[in-house]
């Protein structure tokens, strides 16, 4: 049973560029959430997708957007990258909203 999988694992982008990160949820899970974790801090909630719609959103600007596909997989898009967007981006999935499972994350460096 595959857990939550994310791609790519590492990437480097230039300021102003756009990035897309991908996530496949754990088998049987229908809800996907995205978190940003800056170095030395705890993860911060970006948004949650369920039934292909954004259901909840944290305190992140509109440059952060997402999508959920019919197979429950999800993408996180960040436009107009800033140096401060450098972080570990974590995808999590759940079913019925209690225990959540995280992927290994995508390490984004903006230069």
Partner 1 sequence: GIQVEQSPPDLILQEGANSTLRCNFSDSVNNLQWFHQNPWGQLINLFYIPSGTKQNGRLSATTVATERYSLLYISSSQTTDSGVYFCADGDDGNKLVFGAGTILRVKS
Q: By CB under 8 A, name the binding residues for partner 1.
A: 31, 33, 37, 41-45, 48, 56, 58, 88, 90, 92, 94, 97-105, 107
> Least separation, in Å, of the C-beta of 60 and partner 1?
12
| Minimum CB distance to partner 1 smaller for 11 or for 88 | 88
Which CB, 26 or 81, lies closer to partner 1? 26
- Which runs of E-coded beta strand occur in the chain? 5-7, 10-13, 19-24, 31-37, 44-50, 53-57, 64-68, 74-78, 87-94, 101-102, 106-110
Closer by beta carbon to partner 1, 16 or else 97? 97
Collapsing DSSP states into helix, strand and coil, what is residue 103? coil
Report how far residue 7's alpha carbon sits from residue 45's, in angstroms, rounded to the nearest whole number: 19
Question: Which candidate, 66, 75, 67, 100, places its Cα nearest to that of 24?
Answer: 75
Of 42 and 84, CB closest to partner 1: 42
Closest approach, Cβ 20 to partner 1, in A, equals 19
In whole angstroms, how close is the CB of 57 to partner 1 at the nearest point? 9
């Amino acid at each position: 049973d595959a857990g939550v999988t994310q791609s790519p694992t590492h990437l480097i982008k230039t300021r102003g560029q756009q990035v897309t990160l991908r996530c496949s949820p754990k088998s049987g899970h229908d809800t996907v959430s995205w978190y940003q974790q800056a170095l030395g801090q705890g993860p911060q909630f970006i948004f949650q997708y369920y039934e292909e719609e954004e259901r909840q959103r944290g305190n992140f600007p509109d440059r952060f957007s997402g999508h959920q596909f019919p197979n429950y997989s999800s993408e996180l898009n960040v436009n107009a990258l800033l140096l401060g967007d450098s972080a570990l981006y974590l995808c999590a999935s759940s079913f019925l909203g209690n225990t959540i499972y995280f992927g290994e994350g995508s390490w984004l460096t903006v230069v």
